[in-house]
Amino acid sequence: MPDPTFRAPLLPLVGADTLVPVLDGRRMRQANFDAAASAPALREVADRVTEALPWYASVHRGAGYLSQVSTALYESARERIGAYVEARPDDIVVITRNTTDATNLLATVTPGPTLALDLEHHAALLPWRLGAGSTVLTPAPTVAGTLDLLDAELARTPYALLVVTGASNVTGEALPVDRVVELAHRHGARVLVDGAQLLAHRRLSLAGSGVDYVALSGHKLYAPFGAGALVGRRDWLDEGRPHLAGGGAVTAVGTDSVSWASAPARHEGGTPNLLGAVALATACDVLAGAEHALDEHERALRGRLLAGLRTIHGLEVVRLWPEAGEPVGVVTFTVPEDPTLVASVLAAEHAVALRAGRFCAHPLFERLGLPAGALRVAVGAGTSSDDVDRLVGALRQVLSEGPRGRYREDGDRALLDDPRPLPELAGLTSLDGSTTPCTDVDEPVPV
């Protein structure tokens, strides 16, 4: 049973007890609030990958016993990923690299224009600009008004696809999926849910909701082994242009002809990421088993976080719709100081990791008038109430007392003359992964 005071993480994660150096020379356990960008691996996921490694061989068409075991593992993973999102019997699961890969795949087969809101992640906005085109709307200030806006636009133009987030990666909010599906289908459009941020917190049922497609990433689901998936209706995927032309995507090839396979093989050219698929499927299994406990854990910690943030002068939590349902465990807020500097100080001086920037949601931040971005905190299966209290205390101290070290005046606001030693990892000689010290780096583009 989970700790009723939530002082312990709900699920064991790899690296949860890793000590990192801070500016004053101490080593501290990092409080990780950046899982909305990439989550650590569940211990069970890492163990399953280790268990599968001795059986690793070519997937599909191999006559050897190890190849046949590997193929069975891969196809079993496909089924379990589909089960996590309650796919319909005739839906298919295409294994991809991540959500971005999955949405780009769907963009190649979507037979018409798409509609989206400006709050979407870039992965849900950009792929359709390369194909049949897209329209991006500014939502209304209420959920009801936004649904009316979508309804009117769908009635005006014959869109093929409506793209919506399952949970905003900025605020954790979403439109009611049943209403979105109802109005899209009434106007002849299909619905893609960007599940990247949602599915690490809550499940989605394709069969129950009527959603046509969902895209997801393993690295958000505590399975950072380079796999994602697109799950949904078969016809567009069977008829559309192959996503990655190559071996495995065909049934026959001549010098001037090709017979393409049906989906999912049609879009999985080349040797597939077996271990990534195993990791993703295992994470789906673990999260499905912890579904109700995870919801209780996250609601409690998110509430504790918001209560703590309200005690700090000058902070403002970003919300999209005041009457939206309970967000997932993502909270974004503005601070009176440069958010990038605040994040750097929290990391270097307090071993607290969160995200600063615009989170690949530039149109939304432009509309909100926040060109410098904000700070984002994610609570999840690996978070404890002690972590939340530590974040709030460190944030209060940084904003009231300022940094103790010296930091760059621009760019990533990195610590100058960083004295923290590097871990003994092969090939690592600087904190940016290069073979030279971290000086004179190019200024990053905020995302």
**Residue 136: CB partners within 8 Å, gap ≥ 6?**
116, 117, 118, 120, 125, 363
Out of 13, 124, 230, 360, the active site residue is 360
Distance, in Å, from the CA atom of 18 to the CA atom of 27, rounded to the nearest integer, reads 9
Token digits of residue 364: 């939304």
Place of tokens 């700070």: 375
Using alpha carbons, list the distances in angstroms from residue 100 to 59, 226, 408. 24, 12, 32
pTM score of the predicted model = 0.94
Token digits of residue 178: 């049943």
Q: Could you check whether 1-32+291-447 and 45-289 share the same CATH topology?
A: no
Among 388, 326, 366, 384, which Cα is nearest to 167's? 326
Per-residue pLDDT tens listing for the chain (447 residues) = 445 568 899 999 999 999 999 999 999 999 999 999 999 999 999 999 999 999 999 999 899 999 999 999 999 999 999 999 999 999 999 999 999 999 999 999 999 999 999 999 999 999 998 766 799 999 999 999 999 999 999 999 999 999 999 999 999 999 999 999 999 999 999 999 999 999 999 999 999 999 999 999 999 999 999 999 999 999 999 999 999 999 999 999 999 999 999 999 999 999 999 999 999 999 999 999 999 999 999 999 999 999 999 999 999 999 999 899 899 999 999 999 999 999 999 999 999 999 999 999 999 999 999 999 999 999 999 999 999 999 999 999 999 999 999 999 998 999 998 999 888 876 777 665 554 443 333 333 333
Extents of the domains making up the chain: 1-32+291-447, 45-289
pLDDT at residue 433 in the model: 53
Token digits of residue 311: 């005690």
Distance, in Å, from the CA atom of 191 to the CA atom of 210, rounded to the nearest integer, reads 9
Token digits of residue 116: 């989206």
Place of tokens 């989906």: 263
Q: Name the residue type at position 185.
A: H
The CATH number for 45-289, chosen from 3.40.640.10, 3.40.630.10, 3.40.1160.10, 3.10.20.90, is 3.40.640.10
Distance, in Å, from the CA atom of 101 to the CA atom of 127, rounded to the nearest integer, reads 9
pLDDT at residue 436 in the model: 46
Using alpha carbons, list the distances in angstroms from residue 25 to 285, 351, 404. 40, 12, 13
**β-pairing, 92-96 with 250-253?**
unpaired
Catalytic-residue membership of 284: no
CATH architecture of 1-32+291-447: Alpha-Beta Complex (3.90)
Q: In this structure, are residues 400 and 357 in contact, taking their beta carbons and an 8 Å threshold?
A: no
Distance, in Å, from the CA atom of 76 to the CA atom of 11, rounded to the nearest integer, reads 24
Place of tokens 């689901």: 221
Distance, in Å, from the CA atom of 122 to the CA atom of 142, rounded to the nearest integer, reads 23
pLDDT at residue 426 in the model: 67
**Size (the chain), residues:** 447
